[in-house]
Amino acid sequence: MSIFDNLSFGANNTGTPAAQPTGTQTFSFSALPESLAQMQAMPEAALTSPFQTAALTVCALCAYAAVPQIGLEMLNFLKGPQPLSPMQQQFLRDRFTDGKHIPFSYFEGSISSNNYTPNRPFKVTVKTNPYSYQNEGYATLYLHSGGADSDRSVQLRRKGEQWFLWEQFLMVAIRTPAAQDPWA
């Protein structure tokens, strides 16, 4: 039984990045990680690129939608030496009260008219812009949500050879899924 069964997005593990033009990387996952151990076994878990950490942040937020404790474990792994603060944890609890579909909206094919059901394999594209590396040791990368008109950002911080999640701005409102929209 999968932790994602109740969300109708079954999953196991393994994902590999596919290189895109400079400044953009698309990551393809045949299934999403269902535990911290599964996430840590993924090649992206080396966190040697800010793109890897950003892509895994989406996976961790999806796990949070299914089982909050597992998602918190994954997010704390991605946060590195500084786990989520109580305020950040409360922010997530607040956002997930009615927004379980939000993190899935970052995967290819996931739009409001299909109730944010992503294509398989799960593909997420992470990109830079001219301002992504303005501050030494930090990167701000961008992801597109199928429920929003503008890209959303995730900020990462470098420590040694690894990039850790510093702040995510992914869990903000998107268009209502068609199944929940009385005007659809």
Model pLDDT for residues 118-164, shown as the tens digit of each residue: 999 999 999 999 999 999 999 999 999 999 999 999 999 999 999 99
Residue 61: domain span? 5-180
Q: Is 167 exposed, middle or buried, given 0-12, 13-18 or 19+ CB atoms closer than 10 A? A: middle
Would you place residue 16 in the very low, low, confident or very high pLDDT band (cuts 50, 70, 90)? very low
Alpha carbon distances (Å) from 27 to 19, 78, 129, 168, 179:
8, 17, 18, 18, 28
State the residue for tokens 């989406």.
58
Residue 181 token pair: 């929209």
**More confident of the two residues 8 and 108:** 108
pLDDT of residue 24: 95
18 pLDDT above the threshold of 80: no
Quote the percentage of the chain above a pLDDT of 70. 91
Q: Can you say whether the dihedral through the CA atoms of 147, 157, 61, 35 is positive or negative?
A: positive
Quote the pTM value.
Answer: 0.87
pLDDT of residue 7: 67
Contact 18, 87 (CB under 8 A): no
31 pLDDT above the threshold of 50: yes
Mean pLDDT for the chain overall: 89
pLDDT of residue 100: 80
Distance, CA of 142 to chain centre: 11
If one counts the domains in the chain, the total is: 1
Counting DSSP H helices and E strands in the chain, the numbers are: 4, 6
Summarize pLDDT for 70-126 with one digit per residue, the tens: 999 999 999 999 999 999 999 999 998 877 889 999 999 999 999 999 999 999 999
